[in-house]
Amino acid sequence: MAENRPARSGQTAKRAVKKSAKKAAPRPSVRRGPEHAARAACESLERLICHAAEGVSAVRRKDDGWCVVVDVLEVPRIPDTTSLLASYEVRIDERGELTEYSRVRRYRRGSADE
């Protein structure tokens, strides 16, 4: 035997799904991970010093946020192996805001680490 239930309209069904999805979704964590810290550090530093970030060479958790070492192309040259790069230590708080930065090293792209 078939039950006599009123058919749900498309709108009502969508609302029911949205409500159940909202209840089941976990709350976002206040603490964000190293990927977020690295991205925030690169974006903030690029805006401040007007040089493009080449990459991130270190991310460390600190009591009040993150310490990220961002490698930046400061002086592009031809050939590329003679370009000057720099490593900046960038401090990011829990919200992803830059709190301080400093250049800790400057080097030629073609040079090996010592």
If the chain, 114 residues long, is cut into consecutive pieces of 10 residues, what is the mean pLDDT of each piece?
Answer: 53 49 50 90 97 96 96 95 96 95 95 73
The predicted structure's pLDDT at residue 110: 83
The predicted structure's pLDDT at residue 53: 96
The predicted structure's pLDDT at residue 29: 47
Is the backbone peptide bond immediately before 26 cis, with ω within 30 degrees of 0? Answer: no
- Position 114, amino acid: E
Tell me how far apart the alpha carbons of residues 114 and 111 are, in angstroms, rounded to a whole number: 9
Do residues 12 and 72 make contact, with C-beta atoms less than 8 angstroms apart?
no
Please report where in the chains the tokens 């999805």 appear, as a residue: 21
Do residues 91 and 100 make contact, with C-beta atoms less than 8 angstroms apart?
yes
